[in-house]
A and B are shown apart, each in its own frame.
Chain A
Amino acid sequence: AQSVSQHNHHVILSEAASLELGCNYSYGGTVNLFWYVQYPGQHLQLLLKYFSGDPLVKGIKGFEAEFIKSKFSFNLRKPSVQWSDTAEYFCAVNRATGDSWGKFQFGAGTQVVVTP
């Protein structure tokens, strides 16, 4: 069963619109949280990550994400998207198991298309 859920599989929006992508995970305890992006024809690359501290994290290219522990969520946001943000976005979670880390789990991904 998928332990990391991304609510939208496909999002289409216009340039300058705001973007929010949901990510929820289904286990408690300490987690490391990541958002990765895959631009067309390119490698997956890290957008941002949360390990501890301020639950609002900022990443590259104007993206940010908020960790809400009570909701088991780590939603990605960008106030104003550009055509170049067209990509597939993946949420990933790794949870602590004892004094080490468990297996990484990725969400199914959200394909974002930004129209001019």
Chain B
Amino acid sequence: EAGVVQSPRYKIIEKKQPVAFWCNPISGHNTLYWYLQNLGQGPELLIRYENEEAVDDSQLPKDRFSAERLKGVDSTLKIQPAELGDSAVYLCASSSGGVDNEQFFGPGTRLTVL
């Protein structure tokens, strides 16, 4: 069974440029998460989707971040414009929504903003 797929794995951009990350969850997983992981810290939730609906986006900085999950499968997270402080790893995870809430993580996208 294929795991969570993310692309690109690495991205380097100049500040004020836009950037987008893509995630394809495990087949059949209705719940999709985007996490931000700063260096030396644990992941922090940005947004959670149940199918195509964003059910928790309270930690998403909506002035520059946006996300979508059209058709309730893959998802895109966008930053426009990027700032120096956005340099981090962006992790995508998915789960089947079962009682154990086990989340399966992708390898992440490491963003460097210059």
Partners in one complex: no
**Which A residues are within 8 Å of any B CB, using their own CB?**
none
Residues of B that sit less than 8 Å from A by CB: none
